[in-house]
Amino acid sequence: MASSQIIGKLSKEDYRKQKDLEAARKAGTAPAERDEEGKEINPHIPQYISKAPWYLDTGHASLKHQRVPTSGSETALKDKGEWYARGVRAGPAATKFRKGACENCGAMTHKTRTCMERPRRQGAKWTGKDIQADEVVENLKLDWDEKRDRWNGYDPREHDKVAEEYERIEEERRKLKASELDKQGPTTTAEAKKIVEGGAGGFSSDDDNDDEEKYAEQMDMPGQKINTKTRTTIRNLRIREDTAKYLLNLDINSAHYDPKTRSMRDNPNAEVNPEDAHYAGDNFVRYTGDAPELAKVQLFAWNAAERGNDVHLQANPTQLALLHKQYESKKEKVKDTNRDSILEKYGGEEHLEAPPKELLLAQTENYVEYSRTGKLVKGLEKLKAKSKYDEDVHPYNHTTIWGSYWADGRWGYKCCRSFNKNAYCTGLAGIEAAKAATAAQLLGEGSASFSAAAAMAAGGEDDGTQKTLLEQHLENKKKNRGKDKDKEGTSNPHLKRKDLGEGDVELDQHKLKKALRELDEKKRGGEKGEELDERKRKYNSAYASGKAEEEVTEEQLEAYRLRRQHYDDPMTNYKDDDDD
């Protein structure tokens, strides 16, 4: 290789000798070339690697230009183990304040802004007391990698403290486990075996596994997002419990599995019926989605190209899609036109629109069984709609579900007739209590007092029987009806506005004529344009004010009916001209 470093044009003889020497070195018949340090140079290294560039050429064969130069500071730092001396002071402290030192503590190695001492009320610059010594500042020459090495300067002996702390925790845990076993005693053979295997501590590796399984749910598994509170798992990879495709059939001559795309097109178990097989290959994906439609478009393009149309699926897919859409629409129109022409010529359209045979003949192929009374026994059972709510859930010791009981516009439990969803079941006692409460509400306070007096009176009778609450309520209702009938003759019938104008009422003719005159005067006044001032108009209330003259009477209502115009009646303005 030395001759390769010679600059200048070689003669034909020298060039031939150089090539023969290189061939001999590659064959091993000649010794290998050595560099400046005496190291052998591999003769198989190409010339563009072994030859140094012009700005690094030393005139000798060498591979020094291919090696990274090592700095002496890096080797020295690694060998000595030097690093920053944290918290070390250099020598004794100064006796007086020096110019340029820290105004707080008096050290020269840092400024006031970066001082780590407690801020003083009066710094060392003004008092000259308690001046701190200078810190030891190491001048380490670090290269690019050493500056960015996060473990540079770390003492591995610090990790021994972590290991010791972990061992102490494990020892305490073993003692606690052993004390618990001593309290319980070796009740089973398995626990006794653990104590024997564990030795004096009474602890084995199986206990570690138990504790690890205890906290296994709180750990995050790779590839999954687990919420232990709601027991839900979000998987972003395949379920590991399923058998992989390439493990369904280990025969090397079976279906090929492509690890790059994770696909296996053929059926790995060809001898099994595809309908019964758990996995029959990925070829079904080729016939899903838009794949069949793409095949139709490609076939249309080939047929169109044979007829002379310049279309191509890959060259202009948009044009081909529009042509195929137009072709399909025209094809449907031609099909409908042919169908309509055939029906128009030969008829028979009514047979195409005929209802199904099940409605015409009332006959089906479904097997149905009926009883002697005509009740459906088997077949055509109506499917029950599945509810979106949880079914057969009986909380709080109930035997029926919430919503099984309905009363007074409220839902409840049928087992205890409770309307409170979060109440515990009371059974038959709750039903009796609900009945008693309902009867008490019907009676009211007055009826309750009356029923108490009636019960006391009934208790003094000879028979000694006591009436129920329902019987007392019915008796009070009959008595109230008799009182209402007695008051009907004395009460004002016009106070009940809902009964106004109904029934057989005797009208006072004098009052009726008076009401008619008032309506006529009011009508004439409206025709003349005489309208009352809104400020003088009386307030017409819909409720009774207590005065009989302000109430609408039967005579006024009859006058209104006589004078009312029936605009919807076609015979309202009818006049018989023949009689004139």
- Mean pLDDT throughout 524-550? 53
What size, in residues, is the chain?
580
Task: Give the 3-state secondary structure of 273-306.
Answer: CCCCCCCCCCHHHHHCCCHHHHHHHHHHHHHHHH
Q: What is the spatial distance between Cα 228 and Cα 54, in angstroms, rounded to a whole number?
A: 69
pLDDT band at 373 (very low <50, low <70, confident <90, very high): confident
- Mean pLDDT throughout 138-148? 86
Note whether 281 and 268 are within 8 A (CB). yes
pLDDT per residue over 76-88, tens digit each?
455 556 788 888 8
Task: Give 478-483 contacts, CB < 8 A, sequence gap 24+.
Answer: none
Count Cβ neighbours within 10 Å for each residue of 352-372 and write b for 16 or more, e otherwise: eeeeeeeeeeeeeeeeeeeee
Q: What's residue 428's pLDDT?
A: 87
Note whether 425 and 415 are within 8 A (CB). yes
Q: What's residue 2's pLDDT?
A: 45
Q: Which of 40, 90, 83 is nearest to 63 (CA)?
A: 40
Residue 405: strand pairing partners: 412
Q: What is the spatial distance between Cα 418 and Cα 433, in angstroms, rounded to a whole number?
A: 10
pLDDT per residue over 109-136, tens digit each?
999 999 999 999 999 999 999 999 999 9
Q: What's residue 326's pLDDT?
A: 95
Percent of the chain with pLDDT over 70: 71
Q: What's residue 456's pLDDT?
A: 53
What are the residue boundaries of the structural domains of the chain, listed by start? 3-66, 87-118, 162-235, 434-480
pLDDT per residue over 161-177, tens digit each?
999 999 999 999 999 99
Q: What's residue 543's pLDDT?
A: 45
Note whether 216 and 227 are within 8 A (CB). no
- Mean pLDDT throughout 309-322? 92
Q: What is the spatial distance between Cα 43 and Cα 31, in angstroms, rounded to a whole number?
A: 10
What CA–CA distances, in Å, run from 193 to 56, 177, 375?
75, 15, 68
Strands 232-235, 369-370: parallel, antiparallel or unpaired by DSSP? unpaired
**Is the pLDDT reported for residue 452 higher than 60?**
no
pLDDT per residue over 385-439, tens digit each?
777 777 788 888 898 888 889 988 889 998 998 888 888 898 888 888 888 887 7
Greater pLDDT, 8 or 171: 171
User: To 5 degrees, how large is the angle CA 528–CA 534–CA 537?
Assistant: 85
